[in-house]
């Protein structure tokens, strides 16, 4: 069909979370080494328009809340380039005006190496 499989979006969202963490000065590896792990408890994806093979897409990721033990992220998967050119809604009606092809959300729970729920690190807790 020439479009990305719906399951492909989840690894892209994971890369968005990993990059967000890296921009905060941490790596997921360093979290794991300190005994902090995250497990997905909820995923929602709204597919607005298909991502085609060879599209260049930007994954915009942000933390939007959580609790003492959970984090919520939101994502926008936005078209940056199609067929080697910036997206052009006027020339291609399959391109949304705002460029956003999908929106999504995840909820992650913080667990220890034993798999039991534990509080988020202080620096990552919402409101910090």
In terms of phi and psi (left: phi > 0; alpha: psi -120 to 50; beta: otherwise), the region of 119 is beta
Tell me, letter by letter, the H, E, C secondary structure of 13-40.
Answer: HHHHHHHHHHHCCCCHHHHHHCCCEEEE
**What is the pTM assigned to this prediction?**
0.90
pLDDT, tens only, 38-60: 999 999 999 999 999 999 999 99
Q: Whole-angstrom Cα distance, residue 55 to residue 19?
A: 20
Asked if residue 121 lies in contact with residue 36, where contact means CB atoms within 8 angstroms, the answer is: yes
pLDDT of residue 21: 93
Q: Alpha-carbon distance 106 to 5, whole Å? A: 19
* CATH number at 6-124: 3.10.129.10
Is residue 127 predicted with pLDDT exceeding 70? Answer: no
Q: What percent of the chain clears pLDDT 90, i.e. is strictly above it?
A: 84
């Amino acid at each position: 069909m020439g479009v990305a499989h719906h399951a492909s979006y989840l690894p892209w969202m994971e890369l968005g979370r990993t990059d967000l963490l890296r921009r905060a000065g941490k790596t997921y590896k360093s979290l794991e080494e300190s005994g902090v792990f995250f497990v997905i408890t909820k995923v929602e994806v709204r597919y607005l328009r298909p991502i085609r093979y060879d599209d260049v897409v930007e994954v915009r990721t942000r933390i939007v809340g959580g609790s003492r033990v959970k984090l919520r992220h939101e994502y926008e998967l936005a078209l940056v380039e199609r067929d080697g050119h910036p997206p052009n809604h006027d020339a291609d009606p399959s391109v949304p005006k705002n460029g956003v092809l999908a929106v999504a959300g995840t909820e992650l729970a913080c667990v220890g190496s034993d798999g039991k729920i534990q509080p988020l690190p202080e620096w990552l807790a919402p409101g910090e």
